Structure 1
Amino acid sequence: MSAMPSVEAHAAELAASLHGPEKVRTRLVDEIREGLADTIAAHTREGEPPEGVFERAVREFGTPAELAPSCQRELTVAQTRRTSLTVALAVPVVLAAWSLAWGASAVALAVGIVGVVLALGTLAATGSVARGLPVPGWLPLVAAWSGTIAGVAVVPTTLALALTSAASWPLVLLASVLAVVAHGVVAGSARTCRRCARLTPA
């Protein structure tokens, strides 16, 4: 097998072992693919025999199994930020829709505020200001379960409010649609975040 197909196989094996935001995953795999190809090219220019250059480059650069843990950590942080941002944006929209259709609910408001505060705290802990500091291993799970709770709570709360609401049906329909959309987006992101957290080495 020539070096370039071997590089593609190396990149494909690494990509298959990673989970998280597709854009970040693609960037990481592309960077590693290009770095490995550059290492092979450098050894080739030095006159090394083609049949051994790929194996030597991999020994220096790392196998997919060796590279995956650090890549997965970065993907988990990226997914944690994505989930937290989703909660921080979606929950206030749902609360606003609830208030518009049914009036403010102290319980819903308290739950929403707690969810948004946790999301904003997570964003701060994983943002550029905190870059270089280790991300606590429990933080992705906190973000994931906060998103899960927020996503699950939205639908039954909306249903209960809709059944007891005296508001006009267009407002109820608008609030319900927003709640269902928010549930899908938040719950899906939280599910991916939980999976990333499980895959990230301690």
Structure 2
Amino acid sequence: MAGGGVIDDYVTGLGRALRGPRGPRLDMITEARDSLLDTAEALQGDGLGREEAERAAVEEFGTVGEIAPGYQEELSIAAGRRLAATLFLTVPLTTVMWSVIWRIFPTAPMAYETSPDWFVPVARGLDILQMLIGVLGGIALFALGRGLRRIGRPRLVTRFLGLLVWAMLPVMLTLSGALMFGSHGPVGFGGYPPGIGMALVSLLFWGLQLYCAFTCLSLTRRAPFPACA
């Protein structure tokens, strides 16, 4: 059933008011529109005119200022869940992929012999850090999923994840840069093409993490939602 002007205007205003991941946002808007259309159709069946039925449906549904805060909260949770899943999957995967690359494409033994003393401790420290971030991502994913009812302020979890990425990524970049450029060890770029490919994959993952973290911080920057009509 095609929507009329009142409902379309309302849904357009709601869509402009909401910010967050595109998929969940479109799903919310579509769900709101379908609910309004169903209500308007029922009211029209009771004898109201089309425009009057749509106005009554919108009034019953609530103004954008009344509805948007709840929707926006859900979008911030969705953004946190997306970042948590990204960390849980990509950060440990990066560690595993580097380990596999070294095993499949080993460098010359001399490369290990000439690497500085700090190379192995830094490499292991980076692996541990990445695994810890992956574990935190998994915990946050559970908290924002099945554990959502047990946490009082899910927005804080979303914000924590965003801050975690922005705090830890420079550390990870520094450690990775030291391993890649600060030594002549097995991950030096010179003479080790597989390392170049893996580095590009790592940069792609980091870019995705930063994008998701920026979204989380943007959605939780101010509490919760400005009133709007």
Same fold (TM over 0.5): yes
Distance 1:109 1:126 in 2: 26
Alpha-carbon offset, residue 161 of structure 1:
1.4
Distance 2:59 2:221 in 1: 28
Alpha-carbon offset, residue 151 of structure 1:
3.8
Matched residue, 2:220: 197
Alignment of 1:37-52 (within 5 A): 37-52=37-52
For the 8 Å contact 1:158–1:176, the answer to whether it is kept is no
How many residues in Structure 1 have an aligned counterpart in Structure 2? 200
- Structure 1 vs Structure 2: percent identity of aligned residues? 24
Q: CA RMSD in A?
A: 2.5
Counterpart of 1:160 in structure 2: which amino acid?
A: A
Distance 2:133 2:55 in 1: 49
Instruction: Kindly provide the CA deviation profile for residues 65-104 of structure 1, in whole angstroms up to 9, marking residues without a partner as x.
Output: 2111111111111111110111111111222344455767
2:87 paired with 1:91: no
For the 8 Å contact 2:179–2:185, the answer to whether it is kept is no
Matched residue, 2:53: 53
With the length of structure 1 as denominator, give the TM-score of the two structures.
0.86
- Which structure has the larger Rg over C-alpha atoms? 2
**Cα–Cα, structure 1 residues 199 and 55, in superposed 2: closer, same or farther, change >3 Å?**
farther
Matched residue, 2:142: 124
Instruction: Kindly provide the CA deviation profile for residues 136-192 of structure 1, in whole angstroms up to 9, marking residues without a partner as x.
Output: 241111111123334444433322211114224213213311221111111001111
Aligned counterpart for 2:196 among listed residues 145, 168, 173? 173
2:32 paired with 1:9: no
Q: Which runs of 5+ in 1 are unaligned?
A: none
With the length of structure 2 as denominator, give the TM-score of the two structures.
0.77
For the 8 Å contact 2:91–2:134, the answer to whether it is kept is yes
SS in 1 for 2:185: coil
Matched residue, 1:79: 79
For the 8 Å contact 2:126–2:172, the answer to whether it is kept is no
SS in 2 for 1:19: coil
**Shift >6 Å, 4+ stretches:** none
**Cα–Cα, structure 1 residues 95 and 11, in superposed 2: closer, same or farther, change >3 Å?**
same
For the 8 Å contact 2:24–2:75, the answer to whether it is kept is yes
Alpha-carbon offset, residue 120 of structure 1:
1.0
Alpha-carbon offset, residue 197 of structure 1:
1.9
Alpha-carbon offset, residue 32 of structure 1:
0.3
Alpha-carbon offset, residue 199 of structure 1:
5.4
